[in-house]
Amino acid sequence: MAWIFQRRVDMDDLTDDLRIRIHYKLERGQLPYDSPTKVSGRPATGETCAACDSAIGEGLVMECLVGAGGRTAWVRFHVLCFELWNDERRQPHKQTA
């Protein structure tokens, strides 16, 4: 039972750390605030996650097309990182000039 509790605490800490990292990257323009115009998932083949900078070695890679006009780009995430980015980008933020 203690192992299950410890595992939950560790996952909560990981999620909090990822949220902080994503927030930092959003504020510095390293991740987009733009809403995705297209989202898809496919098996991962070692891409680098835009949120945590780790390789997406197993499972599903989430890809989303973001941007407007001629400034569109594909951004790739782990599933959890995608969910956290999508949540964080919707939070109120400071507008930069």
Report the distance separating Cα 23 and Cα 17, nearest Å. Answer: 10
Residue 69 backbone phi and psi in degrees, to 5: 60, -135
Q: Per-residue confidence of the chain (97 residues) as pLDDT tens digits?
A: 444 444 454 556 678 899 999 999 999 999 998 888 889 899 988 899 999 999 998 788 888 888 766 678 889 999 999 999 999 999 886 655 4
Report the distance separating Cα 50 and Cα 85, nearest Å. Answer: 10
Give the CA angle between residues 37, 41, 44 to the nearest 5°.
Answer: 130
Report the distance separating Cα 51 and Cα 25, nearest Å. Answer: 8
> Domains, the chain, ranges and CATH?
2-89 (3.30.1740)
pTM of the model: 0.77
